[in-house]
Amino acid sequence: MRWGKAGMLALVVILMVSSTWGAPNSLTSKDFTAEELAKMPPEQLAKLVPPYILKRFTPEQLANFTPDELSHLLPTKFPEKEPFKIPEKITIRIKKIPSYDRITKMSEIELINLPIAVEADVYLSPDGRIRDIRIKKADYTILSTPTVVVYSPHPDDETFGSGGRMGYYKNLGYNVGVVLFTRGEMSSVYYDILEENGWSEEEFTREDFANARLREFLAAKSRLGYDWYVDVQKPDGQLWSYTVTTWVQSMEAMLNVVKHIAAQDDSWHPDHKATAIGLRDANVPYHKKMWYRVYYYNYYDYKYNLPSSIYSVKKDALDEYKYRDTNPDPKTGRFGIAYRSTPNIWQYFYNNPVEYFDYRYKNVKG
């Protein structure tokens, strides 16, 4: 039998129609960016999310979340990550900043020239194992004192999930530090700031925005009073768990670490997953590992009730993440970015003197 032109055309039309019919049902929230989802009406958004999400949030609640909150609470579309390549060397720079009473205005802090307490080169083999650590500069108090290291995917996670617990360890006399993996520069708050100040992307670049987020982080740090931090500066959304594992193992090898505390896999943001898995895979003693929750507080292993003195300090730190300059300058200003990025999560920790921890890696997003 031979197909006539009309027959062929009819077949093509039938195939096209059936594929368009099939398409809408198969779409999920993963096919859209968080910004696209945030613009949808509640009923449309509810149709795209997994059923367990609707057990926790009503469609109206979902529609009230900011794009950044949706990116943590739902599976959403992220750009593909750059392929991972094991570096030959990573350079560790542990930085200190003055305590809050010596800071008159956060915006005056020079972001680049903060004092470096420890500087070291860590050399890796092609399989990712640490081959050699060469310490070039060292504050021996930091190298020798019992230390707790908190690993934060973005500026704010450390304070939200573990700010009180850091105070607990400070009170025990431990040295406490934070390894900050990204500066969170992909937040959609960037566009809000451009719009409300009438700035172009040249007047207020993504780099200015990243620096503004780091300024908030430093202000919160000076409130919490922990000792040092490392600004790893991986691109937001591009963190690999291998990178986290390397950092955990380097800290273990260099410092006198008693606890490594990383963000749990309780967010759909890929950097959070990478941080959680990175600690899971690190070759450090099991009893030293702990994970803090930022987004879901179910089936946790340990609930820390913050004493009032620690809670009030944590609230001061949270306020730094909300603080905005009245006359913001693109180069030096404060914009309250973390608060505007995830106001509901900020409010939860502001209202509740609790933090949730796990003693093992868990994938908990429901």
The region that residue 173 occupies, defined by phi over 0 for left and psi between -120 and 50 for alpha, beta otherwise, is: left
CA distance 304 to 306: 6
Q: Which is nearer to Zn ion, 254 or 364 (CB)?
A: 364
Q: Which is nearer to Zn ion, 75 or 153 (CB)?
A: 153
Contact between 68 and Zn ion per CB under 5 A: no
- β pairing state of 257-263 and 289-292: parallel
Minimum CB separation of residue 330 from Zn ion in Å reads: 24
Which amino acid belongs to residue 118? Answer: V
H or E element that contains 289: strand 289-292
Contact between 237 and Zn ion per CB under 5 A: no
Minimum CB separation of residue 294 from Zn ion in Å reads: 7
Quick one: which segment of 146-154, 162-170, 190-198, 302-310 binds Zn ion (CB under 5 A)? 146-154
The region that residue 336 occupies, defined by phi over 0 for left and psi between -120 and 50 for alpha, beta otherwise, is: left
Q: Which is nearer to Zn ion, 154 or 362 (CB)?
A: 154
Contact between 153 and Zn ion per CB under 5 A: yes
Minimum CB separation of residue 324 from Zn ion in Å reads: 20
Minimum CB separation of residue 115 from Zn ion in Å reads: 27
CA distance 209 to 337: 9
Closest CB to Zn ion: residue number: 154
- β pairing state of 289-292 and 354-358: antiparallel
Applying CB under 5 A, the site for Zn ion has a residue count of 3
Check if the beta carbon of residue 318 is closer than 8 Å to that of residue 350.
Answer: yes
CA distance 323 to 236: 22
Contact between 185 and Zn ion per CB under 5 A: no
Quick one: which segment of 149-157, 224-232, 278-286, 314-322 binds Zn ion (CB under 5 A)? 149-157
Minimum CB separation of residue 108 from Zn ion in Å reads: 27
Q: In this chain, which of 157, 231, 252, 355 binds Zn ion, going by CB under 5 A? A: 157
Neighbours of 139 (CB within 10 A): 15
Q: Which is nearer to Zn ion, 71 or 147 (CB)?
A: 71
Location of structure tokens 């062929």 = 8
Location of structure tokens 């008159």 = 104
Q: In this chain, which of 34, 92, 154, 183 binds Zn ion, going by CB under 5 A? A: 154
Contacts with Zn ion by CB under 5 A lie at: 153-154, 157
